[in-house]
Structure 1
Amino acid sequence: MLHRRQIHHHLCFLLLVFLSPTNVHCLNREGLYLQRAKLGFEDPNAVLSDWNPRDKTPCKWNGVVCDSYSVVSLDLSSSGLSGPFPSILCRLKNLTFISLYDNFINSTVPDLARLADLPNLKYLDLTGNNFSGYIPESFGTFQKLVVLSLMENLLEGAIPSFLGNISTLKQLNLSYNPFSPGRIPPEFGNLTNLEVLWLTETNLVGEIPGSLGRLSRLIDLDLAYNSLTGVIPSSVTELTAAVQLELYNNSLTGELPSRGWSNMTSLRRLDASMNELTGSIPAELCELPLESLNLYENNLRGELPDGIANSPNLYELKLFRNQLSGKLPPNLGKSSPLRWIDVSTNSFSGRIPENLCSNGALEEMLLIENSFSGEIPASLGECRSLLRVRLGHNRFSGEVPAGFWGLPHVSLLELIGNSFSGGIAKTIAGASNLSQLILSENNFSGTVPEEIGFLDNLMEFSGNDNKFSGSLPGSIVHLGQLVKLDLHDNEFSGEIPNGIHSWKKLNELNLANNEFSGEIPVEIGDLAVLNYLDLSGNRFSGKIPVGLQNLKLNRFNFSYNHLAGNIPPMYAKGIYKDSFLGNPGLCGDIEGLCDDKREVENTGYIWFLRSFFILAVVVLIFGVIWFYFKYKKFKKVKKTIDRSKWTLMSFHKLGFSEEEILSALDEDNVIGSGASGKVYKVVLSHGEAVAVKKLWGRSKLADESDDVEKCNRLQNDGFDAEVDTLGKIRHKNIVKLWCCCVTRDCKLLVYEYMPNGSLGDLLHSTKSGLLDWSIRFKVAMDAAEGLSYLHHDCVPPIVHRDVKSNNILLDADFGARVADFGVAKVVDVKGMCTKSMSIIAGSCGYIAPEYAYTLRVNEKSDIYSFGVVILELVTGKPPIDPEFGEKDLVKWVCSTLDQKGIDHVIDPKLDSCFKDEICRVMNIGLLCTSPLPINRPSMRRVVKMLQEIGTKIEPKNGWERWEIDPLLL
């Protein structure tokens, strides 16, 4: 039977034909076919509104091109059309061009089989739709087809070999489809006219067939993001027309072909990074006029051939994380517009080539973790194009050129772990874009110049383990964006300047082991987000400001100074003793401090005793009453909890017993309650706290459901999943499960305690102001690393299935931990991570669109949910909100960006100077929430993208000159 909507469309078509003869009779047959196709489409953007049946021919309609009176081209790209593919288009026998690129058409590919009947069809582009199923065998019979693009759909099965029969093909694009694991068909070597072959992320396995070497006209070959193995065949060097070879992110082994590269005179870009290649870089390869050479993250050895320096167009050279050695070619950059060079984490030695920036284009110079030596060339002090400089952990020495300090566009200057000497030049005033200045572990000396205060965008100044001296410049208090100031182990003296209350974003202050003196500024108590404070090993005197109790300090140290007076009551505890050692004048209720100085005035002491006695009597009376009711309650609880029947299973070395946990499970300690049970905060005898989740008992579950057995089963499944998952995991960004306690009717899970609660509670409350951008980015980074560990490092992989902001917990340092594994599932590797579940797991607003109707569990569902969390961090809005109407957060962000722009999306609480970084992170969130699972990056890729953003903090003064990536909208 026909679907009701199809019947409606057929009736409409018949009405056009029979009831309106004055209109339809003037429209030719091909126009009628197109009218019928229009009736089958959903057209929310009205792109087909000018398809008027009153016209004689369709030749002036949008997207239609005619030759005389015959339709030869139909281009409806990016029109927002949805619905099934209109097979009636196959009756337009003169069609040569069809493009339905970037729509929402959702037919199965077999419905397209009749397209092969079009005798003149040369161009077929169905990229970016929802076509599913197997590629029809009829496609192998195309006679004139030149371009076939099926990229970004939901195609299944292995890539078919019959496509190798289309001898006329020049472009074949099948990238980003969830094909079954399969090999590259050797028959593709028969496509001798082929110029473009894109098979990116198509689940390829096995070796690259040598037959591809017969594609003498091939210009662009992309086989990236697959699981290809074996060596790169030498026949690859027979691709004499090739301009670009993309082989990255596979498992290729062996050496690069040693000969034959000289035949590839057209080759400009080679990317074989993220494989397992060995051997050396062929000299013949480096003689080519390359523009980009990416061989990073392999096991390559030997030296970089000097010939690479002769390339006139080289703009990108990335060789990091290999085992390369020797010196960089001395003329590198002299003849080419080099923009990006990254040779980090190798064994290179010698000096930095003088000519790296000879053409004034160098933007990134990353040489960390090598054995480079000598001084920074003076010529680099004039390289005004530089954006990022990382020279850490080498053997550099000498003074830094004066001009180098003041490069105007550099955002990151990292010189850590070398032997640089001299001081910071006053020219640093010109480094207006500098956000990270990392000079740690060198031999820098002298004073920090006043000009440091001109760096309005500076977020981090790390100069520890040097020989800096003198006072801190007064201008340093003007660094309003400062997040970290670390100057420990130097020779600074004098007092901390007045005005540090302007450091509103300061998170870490470390001035330990210097010669600072004077009193500790009271203003430190105004630094709301400070959580790391170390002033030890100085000459500070006076009292410790009581205002420090306003801070949420995760770590602090005032030891070995000349402080006196009473310790602020909040910190006058034995667990903080080590933070106050070496201050003979300090007093507090801590054993070993001020034991011989407890003399007080007699009058005050007597008054205190009298007051204390009266207060004690009152407290005693109320205490007896409280104890009576508490004891009754305790007896009641004791009847229901027989401690002798508890079974404890620990996953870490414990410093507490089950008795200590059980005795604290009363309503006064409840910090949360949910569908599965209550959560208690339990402070242990040694001062540390744990969180205890007590799962609801059977009676509670039965009250809320008529199916008691089902409730018990769900409870047991959640408990078992939590224990099985967290009991085996050891990762800094996964919440730690200390142990579990089990009895017949009650189950307890004991976790590490997270003082700042869940991200969702904090982000969507009045305390959201505590989460500035640096903290939000840190949370995204931590959570991404936790999920990446689950997806990629656990064997077998684990899918969380309920990623949301309320399941991301924050410690005292706002470090994030992924939590709540009650619905987590181990991925069935043999089933290719697509095991169907009997129920939908997840939370409203976070569930991936395909999960709701397929119930298929895979990592892509977690990635979608994590993308929603990223959008929460960027917008400050929850995933579902009345403000959105019928939309969720993802749809609201996309529509608001399109209609109103970026200013109406980003949380107004965030500082505008981070706009570029915020928008880059939002791009990742939009990519993760792509409707097509195949378009979502892996969590490992998400981590890498976030890491790259973390090293590219480029704050702007305002919100101008920013564009969202149009591919993500």
Structure 2
Amino acid sequence: MSTILLLPPLSLLLLFLLLPSILSLNQEGLYLYQFKLSLDDPDGSLSSWNPRDVTPCAWSGVTCGGAYNSSVTGLDLSNTNIAGPLSASTLCHLPNLSFVSFFNNSVNQTLPSEISSCRSLVHLDLSQNLLTGELPHNLSLLPNLRYLDLTGNNFSGPIPDSFGRFRKLEVISLVSNLLEGTIPASLGNISTLKMLNLSYNPFYPGRIPPEIGNLTNLEVLWLTQCNLVGTIPNELGKLKKLKDLDLAFNNLYGSIPSSLMEMTSLNQVELYNNSLSGELPRGWSKLTALRLLDASMNHLTGTIPDDLCRLPLESLNLYENRLEGELPESIADSPNLYELRLFGNRLTGKLPASLGKNSPLRWIDLSTNQFWGEIPASLCDQGQLEELLMIYNLFSGEIPASLGMCQSLTRVRLGYNRFSGEVPAGIWGLPHVYLLELVDNSFSGPISSTIAGAGNLSLLVLSNNNFSGAIPDEIGWLENLEQFSGSDNNFTGSLPDSIVNLGQLGTLDLHNNKLSGQLPKGVRSLKKLNELNLANNEINGKIPDEVGSLSVLNFLDLSHNQLSGKVPHGLQNLKLNQLNLSYNRLSGELPTQLAKDMYRTSFLGNPGLCGDLKGLCDRRYDAKNAGYIWLLRAMFIIATLVLLIGVVWFYFKYRNFKNAKRAIDKSKWTLMSFHKLGFGEDEILNCLDDDNVIGSGSSGKVYKVVLSNGEAVAVKKLWGGITKDIESGDFEKGQVQDNSFDAEVETLGKIRHKNIVKLWCCCTTRDCKLLVYEYMPNGSLGDLLHSSKGGLLDWLTRYKIAIDAAEGLSYLHHDCVPPIVHRDVKSNNILLDGDFGARVADFGVAKVVETTAKGVKSMSTIAGSCGYIAPEYAYTLRVNEKSDIYSFGVVILELVTRRRPVDPEFGEKDLVKWVCTTMDQKGVDHVLDSSLDSCFKEEICKVLNIGLMCTSPLPINRPAMRRVVKMLQEVGTDSNQIKASKKDGKLSPYYYDEGSDHGSVA
């Protein structure tokens, strides 16, 4: 019957013949009911559309008006999960229909040209649907249309020139489609236009049409990531009413035209990530409404204008340019300034003494400049300062005591300067600081006992200073401390016994100090300790046997101390990458498993220590020698028998082995190691059998290799050529030039982070590359979560995995120089160790990301996996940190729902859209994994909201990874602090993004 109803006007006759019960419904109701029958309504959102009613005015989403309040004037079916084609010919029979909104549904096929017959239409919103095809040329025939929003569809082809003939259009938004061609100059003819939003489309390279300057009523011009080239036209200066100018992420060059200073209504200017050069123009004093200027990541030179700093700015981002000179004193008088990011320039001089006195500063990043002088004492006078980043400058003097009372601080990086004096006691005890970095200065004095109040401290980096005194016992109260680096100082006394209470501690590095006393008892409780470096101190006593129980310990250096006694036998059970016990007073027999060539220099300078390593004593007792003679004879006989059997076995085995290894010429392998190795390439190559394969993907196979020392490693074998794994949905370019591969591997080899899988070494030939990683016994998150054992992952374990993975990605985005973009974040690339600690794996090696001064270049092909690829990356091929954040958001949704990113149950949707629509229609309970304990529902919902923020269709609305980590941590500490909300993007002229966390350059 529905097929017949789709054939007007014959369908109306059939309605009368076949459905006498609806004869009471008026004409407009019949049209709407016919429209309903053409749609798929899985959630019953249109169930109130009852054909027995007299009029449709009480139906859900229907608005009536007119002389008798009975004519349909509006149809709002936003967020109803309806699907199917848009039957415009039916809707346009409603003579007074002026408002139509189908926002966030699954309306598909094309936008029919019949829509132009809806002559009364004023507002048309079809955003966030599945519409395809070209934009109808006759859409401009709608005489009364004022609002047109087609954001977030799949429209292709060029913007028709006929769009310049709209008569009353005020808003046009075509954001995030697949539009091609160039921006037509004819758009400059729409004199009524107030908002022009064309961002995130893969246009052909083209210039900004000068005709845009004719839009004298324009308030918002948003052309982010539109493949724009050339200079900014002077004609834009004629836009006197413009409030928001966004030309970011393009290829614009030349100087910023001085005509922009004539746009006196501007309150937001975003020009970041272009190739703009020259000096900042003069005349900023005219822009009295300006509150945000972001011209970062360009090639700007010269000084920061004084009149710019006199404006009531809220955010000033000019980082990663080539600016010089001093920061104007007038910046201190800006009453609204809360964000100041100038890192990566060549700025010099002192900071204004009153900076922060009159401004609600929250984020300051002046890193990598040439500023000198003291830190202004007034920085936190307004009590809102959260991040203070000043690394790599020439600052000197003492830290102001006033900063010790700045309770809002969360991140303090003052390293690589010339600071001196004692650190104020209040700084040590700031309750919300999670990173305190004072490395490479001349600080002196002790660590204050007030550090007991730093309950959120995770990273304490004090290396290369003049700190002295004993390490306070209160250090053991910091239950969140993960890294304590205090090497190259003058610390004295013994390690406090309380240090064994630091259950999260991964790195303890205090080498080159004057520590004495014995190692504390109870070190077995440091279960996450990965690096212990106490070299070059005066520590005495025995090495505790408990050290051998630290299963994740990888780096142990106790050299150049006064340790005595035997080497604990438990050390031979550890998978130590580096071991150094040299130049102590150790004695006795060296444990057998430690007498290996990889440890040949690990025990030098211990006169009483004996073992089968060169440099240790060769003294043997005659009694032992006599007892060994018969054992050696027996071993010789057994070895002879084994040899005979082995020759026969080897003959047959070698034939298969030779065929399997024919493509590998061992003589041409090149080994590049990034850690001290106890194996060679031959030991790896000999184990690359099919029996040892534990996984495969688009770029090669993964093998588990058990080495002769009992340690297991994972070996990924990469081959050249472009590959595509259809089953996994991975797309990547595997053929990499040798020099690019070496450069990328060198970068990966320098990464040291507890949440990034460790790369031991790589072996290369002309046609093949091997990557040797640490072995992760619990495999990948994806395999475990979506297997029959996935229900065993309780919420606390999943929450821990989310934080671990987020911290790994945050390190890549914010703490690597240059930043590393993963490009293939997914649950299968998050590996789990024996304690379900998560490590990010498989980034950037088989798919090199080239970087420029502006950021990451466009890729030549898509890399990523179906369901995880950010919408803008899929068609622009431009990759940045926001692409990773979208993919990580999908991983969060996986953890919460335990559903795959793509599933036949979703139909044409992916996991992100399924979660949104299901929550809207059925509630959050239908989204959450039913196997999770309901007592954690509040926390689970907060993590779910974080995942939705990360998967926002507009990159500008996704939080930076550093912010994601902070929000996830807050879920476990103060759940009331998270109030996730979903922004609509920049579809309002008054929208303002409250700042993205661009991070520091170090």
TM category (shorter chain) comes to 0.7 to 0.9
| Structure 1 residues without counterparts, runs of 5 or longer | 697-709, 742-747, 793-798
CA positional deviation for 1:295 = 1.0
CA positional deviation for 1:155 = 2.6
Deviation per CA, 1:116-143: give whole Å up to 9, x if none. 3333332223333333333344432222
Closer, same or farther: CA 146–458 of 1 in aligned 2, 3 Å = same
CA positional deviation for 1:91 = 4.8
1:645-664 aligned at under 5 Å gives the runs 664=686
Question: Any conservation in 2 of the 1:458–1:481 contact (CA below 8 Å)?
Answer: yes
Closer, same or farther: CA 809–857 of 1 in aligned 2, 3 Å = farther
Worse-superposed segment, 33-42 or 464-473: 33-42
Give the length in aligned residue pairs. 907
User: Relative contact order: is structure 1 or structure 2 higher (C-alpha 8 Å, sep ≥ 6)?
Assistant: 2
The answer to whether the aligner puts 1:234 opposite 2:246 as a matched pair is no
CA positional deviation for 1:454 = 2.1
Distance 2:251 2:778 in 1: 36
CA positional deviation for 1:216 = 0.9
Closer, same or farther: CA 611–633 of 1 in aligned 2, 3 Å = same
Query: Which residue pairs with 1:166 in the alignment?
Result: 190
Query: Which residue pairs with 2:126 in the alignment?
Result: none
After TM superposition, the score normalised by the length of structure 1 is 0.80
Query: Which residue pairs with 1:627 in the alignment?
Result: 647
Secondary structure of the corresponding residue to residue 515 of structure 2: strand
CA positional deviation for 1:784 = 7.8
Question: Any conservation in 2 of the 1:158–1:179 contact (CA below 8 Å)?
Answer: yes
1:173-184 aligned at under 5 Å gives the runs 173-184=197-208
Deviation per CA, 1:851-876: give whole Å up to 9, x if none. 9xx9x895679998996577558967
CA positional deviation for 1:182 = 1.9
Query: Which residue pairs with 1:275 in the alignment?
Result: 298
Secondary structure of the corresponding residue to residue 600 of structure 2: helix
The answer to whether the aligner puts 1:467 opposite 2:469 as a matched pair is no
Deviation per CA, 1:130-186: give whole Å up to 9, x if none. 333333444322222222222233333222222222211222222222222222222
The answer to whether the aligner puts 1:598 opposite 2:620 as a matched pair is yes
Query: Which residue pairs with 1:707 in the alignment?
Result: none
Distance 2:212 2:345 in 1: 33
The answer to whether the aligner puts 1:38 opposite 2:61 as a matched pair is no
Question: Any conservation in 2 of the 1:84–1:106 contact (CA below 8 Å)?
Answer: no
Question: Any conservation in 1 of the 2:405–2:427 contact (CA below 8 Å)?
Answer: yes
Query: Which residue pairs with 1:214 in the alignment?
Result: 238
CA positional deviation for 1:99 = 3.5
Distance 1:662 1:452 in 2: 43
Query: Which residue pairs with 1:700 in the alignment?
Result: none
Deviation per CA, 1:366-405: give whole Å up to 9, x if none. 1111111111112222211212111111111111122222
Query: Which residue pairs with 2:537 in the alignment?
Result: 514
The answer to whether the aligner puts 1:960 opposite 2:960 as a matched pair is no
Query: Which residue pairs with 2:773 in the alignment?
Result: 754
Question: Any conservation in 1 of the 2:227–2:250 contact (CA below 8 Å)?
Answer: yes
Distance 2:844 2:243 in 1: 48
Question: Any conservation in 2 of the 1:758–1:805 contact (CA below 8 Å)?
Answer: no
Question: Any conservation in 1 of the 2:882–2:955 contact (CA below 8 Å)?
Answer: yes
Query: Which residue pairs with 2:741 in the alignment?
Result: 729
1:608-687 aligned at under 5 Å gives the runs 608-634=628-654, 664=686, 670=692
Query: Which residue pairs with 1:699 in the alignment?
Result: none
CA positional deviation for 1:78 = 3.4
Question: Any conservation in 2 of the 1:274–1:296 contact (CA below 8 Å)?
Answer: yes
Deviation per CA, 1:663-720: give whole Å up to 9, x if none. 94786985558697896959799x9999695999xxxxxxxxxxxxx99xx9xxx9x9
The answer to whether the aligner puts 1:899 opposite 2:924 as a matched pair is yes
Distance 1:412 1:444 in 2: 18
Deviation per CA, 1:493-529: give whole Å up to 9, x if none. 1112222222222222221111111111222222222
The answer to whether the aligner puts 1:484 opposite 2:517 as a matched pair is no
Query: Which residue pairs with 2:76 in the alignment?
Result: 75
Distance 2:195 2:901 in 1: 47
Closer, same or farther: CA 379–144 of 1 in aligned 2, 3 Å = same
The answer to whether the aligner puts 1:419 opposite 2:442 as a matched pair is yes
Counting aligned pairs with the same residue, the percent is 46
Worse-superposed segment, 533-542 or 122-131: 122-131
CA positional deviation for 1:948 = 6.5
Worse-superposed segment, 303-312 or 104-113: 104-113
Amino acid at match of 1:102: N
Distance 2:660 2:221 in 1: 70
Query: Which residue pairs with 2:358 in the alignment?
Result: 335
Question: Any conservation in 2 of the 1:411–1:436 contact (CA below 8 Å)?
Answer: yes
Distance 2:227 2:718 in 1: 44
Worse-superposed segment, 62-71 or 398-407: 62-71
The answer to whether the aligner puts 1:545 opposite 2:568 as a matched pair is yes
1:825-844 aligned at under 5 Å gives the runs none
CA positional deviation for 1:65 = 3.1
Distance 2:306 2:92 in 1: 53
1:382-421 aligned at under 5 Å gives the runs 382-421=405-444
After TM superposition, the score normalised by the length of structure 2 is 0.78
Deviation per CA, 1:15-64: give whole Å up to 9, x if none. 545533552553243x4444344344433443333333444444443333
Question: Any conservation in 2 of the 1:95–1:118 contact (CA below 8 Å)?
Answer: no
Distance 2:20 2:208 in 1: 55
Distance 1:42 1:833 in 2: 39
Query: Which residue pairs with 1:62 in the alignment?
Result: 60
Distance 2:849 2:545 in 1: 52
Distance 2:899 2:209 in 1: 46
Query: Which residue pairs with 1:27 in the alignment?
Result: 26
Secondary structure of the corresponding residue to residue 355 of structure 1: coil
CA positional deviation for 1:323 = 0.7
Amino acid at match of 2:643: G
Question: Any conservation in 2 of the 1:786–1:817 contact (CA below 8 Å)?
Answer: no
CA positional deviation for 1:622 = 3.8
Question: Any conservation in 1 of the 2:144–2:168 contact (CA below 8 Å)?
Answer: yes
Secondary structure of the corresponding residue to residue 302 of structure 1: coil
Closer, same or farther: CA 629–390 of 1 in aligned 2, 3 Å = closer
Closer, same or farther: CA 18–328 of 1 in aligned 2, 3 Å = farther
Worse-superposed segment, 521-530 or 604-613: 604-613
Question: Any conservation in 2 of the 1:71–1:95 contact (CA below 8 Å)?
Answer: yes
1:116-135 aligned at under 5 Å gives the runs 116-135=140-159
Task: Tell me the C-alpha RMSD between the 2 structures.
Answer: 5.2
Deviation per CA, 1:185-220: give whole Å up to 9, x if none. 222111111112222222222211111111111111
Deviation per CA, 1:82-115: give whole Å up to 9, x if none. 3333323445554444433333333346565554
Deviation per CA, 1:877-924: give whole Å up to 9, x if none. 99987997846876787789872499859999xx99999998898568
Question: Any conservation in 2 of the 1:884–1:892 contact (CA below 8 Å)?
Answer: no
Distance 2:982 2:358 in 1: 35
Query: Which residue pairs with 2:752 in the alignment?
Result: none
Distance 2:893 2:130 in 1: 32
Worse-superposed segment, 772-781 or 311-320: 772-781
Distance 2:244 2:154 in 1: 26
Deviation per CA, 1:430-475: give whole Å up to 9, x if none. 2222222222211111112222222222222221111111122222
Query: Which residue pairs with 2:389 in the alignment?
Result: 366
| Structure 2 residues without counterparts, runs of 5 or longer | 107-128, 750-758, 852-856, 986-1002
Amino acid at match of 1:43: D
Query: Which residue pairs with 1:47 in the alignment?
Result: 45
Query: Which residue pairs with 2:105 in the alignment?
Result: 103
Q: 2:346 aligns with which of 313, 323, 332?
A: 323
CA positional deviation for 1:808 = 8.8
CA positional deviation for 1:232 = 0.9
The answer to whether the aligner puts 1:497 opposite 2:520 as a matched pair is yes
Distance 1:242 1:774 in 2: 40
Distance 2:572 2:937 in 1: 31
Secondary structure of the corresponding residue to residue 461 of structure 1: strand
Question: Any conservation in 1 of the 2:946–2:967 contact (CA below 8 Å)?
Answer: no
Deviation per CA, 1:773-810: give whole Å up to 9, x if none. 77645664688899999999xxxxxx999988369999
The answer to whether the aligner puts 1:560 opposite 2:561 as a matched pair is no
Question: Any conservation in 2 of the 1:309–1:331 contact (CA below 8 Å)?
Answer: yes
Closer, same or farther: CA 916–418 of 1 in aligned 2, 3 Å = farther
Distance 2:774 2:463 in 1: 31
